[in-house]
Amino acid sequence: MRRASITLFSLAQLALLVFASPAAAHNDGRGFYGASNDKVVTDAGFILIVFFPLFVFTMSMIQRRLDKRKQARKAAREVLGEAQWRGGW
């Protein structure tokens, strides 16, 4: 069974390699967007320049909020101490 699955996986990978070139050559290699010129490439570059700092800022703000919640939980647990083990039978 293991040998058959390895063979099947290898054949699937080979098929992907064989059929990738004709798939890329479809539409004269222009891709999904179409023909690109300097304006298209420049606009894509500006989009990337804006996207990455915004992404880093957003993720940093999310991390900050999560850290504040974590610190608040730690402080509350410290104030309560081991309240779950107080009292008892």
Q: How far apart are CA 17 and CA 14, in angstroms?
A: 5
pLDDT (0 to 100) of residue 71: 96
Dump pLDDT digits (tens) for 24-78.
666 776 767 777 889 989 999 999 999 999 999 999 999 999 999 999 999 988 8
**From residue 17, how far is each of 11, 29, 79, 84 by CA, in Å?**
10, 17, 62, 60
Cβ-proximal residues to 79 (8 Å cutoff; 6+ apart), any chain: none
Domain ranges of the chain: 2-25+38-79
- pTM higher than 0.85, yes or no? no
- Rounded distance between C-alpha atoms, residue 8 and residue 33, angstroms: 34
| Separation of alpha carbons 80 and 1, rounded Å | 57
